[in-house]
Structure 1
Amino acid sequence: MRRWLALLVAATTSLVLVALLVPLALLIRTAAENAATGEATRTAESVAVAVAVEDEQALELTVERASATGYPITVFLPGGRTLGVPAPRSAAVRLAARGRSVTAEAPGGREILVAVQGLPEGTAVVRVFLSDAALTRGVAEAWLGMLLLGLALVGLGILVADRLARAVIRPVTALAQVSHRLAAGDLSARAEPGGPPEVRSVATALNHLADRIDELLAEERETVADISHRLRTPLTALRLEAESLRDPEEAARVEARVDALERAVSAVITDVRRRRRERGSCDAATVVADRVAFWSVLAEDQGRAVTVDLAPAPQPVAVGADDLAACVDALLGNVFAHTAEGTPFTVRLAPTPSGVELTIADAGPGFPPDLVHGALRRGHSGAGSTGLGLDIARRTAESAGGALRLAAAPGGGAQVTLLLPSPAPGDG
């Protein structure tokens, strides 16, 4: 904007200066020509007076002194004799010899001709020659001064325009920075109203919008927390039912499941109450091994063969332990939800140059084509589920700078690959 405003002011100022300085330049040239012509005419008239009263010898001295002023002077006497600087007897000279003083253009300049009548021999003509340089003496310097003045005025206009543009752009740039911070999740960002009234109005509206977003998110967090808290009642009833089981081993296993579910509900309540998600780190090998051990119990009940290939600990990643655990639970839960009992699956964790690669593959029916070849959308699964499991894994990976890839398993079925980067120095 500053550049465009500067160009606009430069163009406008240049047009105004051209409209003003061009006529002024022509006027200066005309004035210089008139001044030179007037001075030459006065010189010719003074010589003409001497022609009328002096003899030829005295007249020749007068012509020499007058020529010393810088103008070539020639006196055409009756009878064809000439005094002073030799010059051709042009048509204008012959016209002046008839008693008419004239000014005529000549090669290389202009000649001033004054007729001197009343001489015994006839009419004499005094000729003063003005060269083109004499006619335009001082014009080039005046034009140069005008050009420098015009450039100075254009530069001054651009400088003033730049100052005005900065006064407008600075608050607009600040507004853009605040909007980027809000888009990045920093809901504490606020704009400082400044600049023109319109920009101040936009800053106030942006602050109001940020306040409203903050309020809506707070309401949403509380609503989700309340909904999650309601799950504690059926969990308590389920725990009581587990405690009433007669088989101690079965009761312990069910109670362990209830404890895990209660921890998950508590984690949901804690997570949604946080103002913003803080990036953490954990040992991926330990977390994945723990969650695979948890799901292996259910896999054994359903007759599923589990192949586990985990890199030795530690395998640090830029994802918190709770978030990674929820991600693994979502992916393994999809295996149990969308494949038949007895379907085997594989869990593989391998290091990469930038982090780790977690691959979960099964021998089930595989993903629908629109999921493998299209964009993964939240709430869309193609299998009749909520479609949130894959989205949880995707958001967990992308929040840390990783990615999620869907593909067909080598032996048929579905394969999910989660790329998780290593934590940056200083991340905890």
Structure 2
Amino acid sequence: MRRRLTLLVAATTCLVLIAFLVPLALLIRQVTEDRAISRANDVLQTIVPQIGTSDPASLALTVQGLPLPVSVFPPDGPVLGQAAERTPAVRLAQANGRSFTVDTDAGREIVVPVFSGGATYVLRTVVPARELTGGVARSWLVLAGLGLALVVLGLLVADRLARSIVAPIADLSAVSHRLARAELTARASPSGPPEVREVAIALNHLAGRIQDLLREEREQVADLSHRLRTPLTALRLEAESLRDEEEAARVSAAADSIERAVTAVIQQARRRGGDRAAAADATAVVADRVAFWTVLAEDTDREVRRELPSAPLPVALPADDLAAALDALLGNVFAHTPDGTALAVSLAARPGGGAVLTVDDSGPGFPAEALRRGSSGSGSTGLGLDIARRAAEAGGGSLHVGTAPGGGARVRLELAAGKRLPSD
């Protein structure tokens, strides 16, 4: 935009200068010619009174003392003054008694007839071409220099003007990109033209409104999650009243797991955008969650295969988010496959850093609409895969859905590498 404004001003300035300087240059040349011809006419007029009143010898001496070469052609007899032949212009002037100005190779020929004593004398002089254009080239150079200086000055003024317009727009663009990166405290400084200032004020108002809406949403999620603590407390009390100690321990463990998930939701809801937790050890998180789901798998006659590395595997995702993503994937297997369906969980290092988490099952696979948020095709909320996808993208990775080797569903979660975990 800055360059376009500069080019626009340059083009406009050049057009104005051309429209002004070209006629001025032609006028200068015409004025120079007219001045030279007028000076020659003045010289001729100085000797007009002497025609017919002075003798030929005195008239010849007067003509020879003039600043221009002047020839006097009497009706008959030799030429007085500058020797010259009778040109067609001289003969024509003697014939009809009119003055002429004729362009020749030597310059501009001027003939003036003078009547005296019933005879016609003709005064002739030639203005050289160098006098007709004397100083014109220098004047044109001055005009060209002036035009160039005006163009440069116009470009400088246009650049400053364009900068004053473009700089606030660039600031608005930078602030909008910061807002897109979840830097909700970014604000634009209203400056520049009134229209740009109005846009900056509107953008700041929008950013503030987004902050308010997100704050309200976080508080609502936190409040909703906090309300779940009351039924969880009642569930734990019911579990403690069970007579079967093993059954009571299992229900209490499930209630504790739900309470941890609720606590994680509250913490995540109150977490400011962009403030991520430290990198998690994917090996430890996956091992813990697989151990939890293995107990439920035994109750439904499901075979659970696991392939986990022996060394820690840091990923750029908080442990709570990784656990929630894996719980969502395993929960889908339990919810959408019949009892007895085998499943496999594998975790491996990703080339270039990070980890690849794969969940396979031998069930019927995913319906076509399962990848859309809020759609599952089986009556559930349809948020499981979306939770896993958002967790993967938050960790700098991605989620891929396909078919397992045995014909069931396969979900592969790719996670970026996190910071090195502290050693024990």
Q: TM-score of the superposition, structure 2-length normalised?
A: 0.88
Query: Within 5 A, what are the aligned runs for 1:68-107?
Result: 73-76=70-73, 79=76, 81-82=78-79, 89-98=86-95, 99-107=97-105
- Count of residue pairs brought into register by the alignment: 418
Query: Is 1:255 matched with 2:252?
Result: yes
Q: Distance in 2 between matches of 1:331 and 1:87?
A: 116
CA distance in 2, matches of 1:160, 1:256: 75
Picking from 288, 296, 299, the partner of 2:297 is 299
Partners of 1:172 and 1:88 in 2: CA distance: 78
CA gap of 1:86–1:324, structure 2 versus 1, over 3 A, is farther
For 1:308, the equivalent position in structure 2 comes to: 306
Alignment counterpart, residue 419 of structure 1, candidates 392, 398, 414 = 414
Q: What is the distance in 1 between the residues matched to 2:317 and 2:171?
A: 32
Aligned amino acid, residue 34 of structure 1: D
How far did 1:248 drift? 2.1
Counterpart residue type for residue 282 of structure 1:
A
Equivalents in 2 of 1:343, 1:84: separation in Å?
131
Which residue does the alignment assign to 2:60?
59
Say whether residues 1:22 and 2:22 are aligned partners. Answer: yes
Give the whole-Å Cα distance in 2 for the aligned partners of 1:367 and 1:72.
111
Pair 1:394 & 2:389 matched:
yes
Partner residue in 2 for 1:37: 37
Q: How does 1:174-213 map to 2 (within 5 A)?
A: 174-213=171-210
The separation in 2 between residues aligned to 1:318 and 1:146, in whole angstroms, is: 69
* Structure 1 residue matching 2:42: 3-state secondary structure: helix
Contact 1:115/1:123 (8 A) holds in 2: yes
Amino acid at match of 2:157: V
Structure 2 CA distance, aligned partners of 1:293 and 1:183? 39
Going from structure 1 to structure 2, the CA distance change for 1:382 and 1:133 (only over 3 Å counts) comes to: farther
Moved more, 411-420 or 122-131: 122-131
Distance 1:61 1:318, change over 3 A: same
Which of 235, 251, 270 is the aligned partner of 1:238? 235
2:183–2:274: 8 Å Cα contact kept in structure 1? Answer: no
Tell me how far apart the structure 2 counterparts of residues 106 and 424 of structure 1 sit (CA, whole Å). 94
Q: Percent of pairs identical after alignment?
A: 58
Stretch moving more, 325-334 or 145-154: 145-154
Q: Deviations over 1:143-177 (max 9, x none)?
A: 22222222322332332233223223322322222
Letter in 1 for 2:385: L
Alpha-carbon offset, residue 123 of structure 1: 4.6
For the pair 1:217 / 2:214, whether they are aligned, the reply is yes
Counterpart residue identity of residue 115, structure 1 = P
Q: Partner amino acid for 1:168?
A: I
Equivalent in the alignment of 2:378: 383
8 A Cα contact 1:193 1:204, kept in partner: yes
Amino acid at match of 2:126: F
Deviates further, 340-349 or 248-257: 248-257
Partner residue of 1:145?
A: 142
For the residue of structure 1 that corresponds to 2:33, the secondary structure is helix
Contact 2:314 2:420 in 1 (8 A): no
Q: Call closer, same or farther: CA 1:277–1:152 in 2, change over 3 Å.
A: closer
1:258-407 mapped onto 2 (5 Å cutoff): 258-279=255-276, 280-354=278-352, 355-370=354-369, 376-407=371-402
How well do the aligned residues superpose, as a CA RMSD in angstroms? 2.9
Specify the SS of the correspondent of 2:392.
Answer: helix
Shift of 1:422: 0.9
Q: Is the 8 A contact 1:359 1:415 kept in 2?
A: yes
Q: CA 1:8–1:277 in structure 2 vs 1: closer, same or farther (change >3 Å)?
A: closer
The structural deviation recorded for 1:95 is 1.4
Which residue identity is paired with 1:330? A
Q: Tell me, what secondary structure is at the counterpart of 1:415?
A: strand
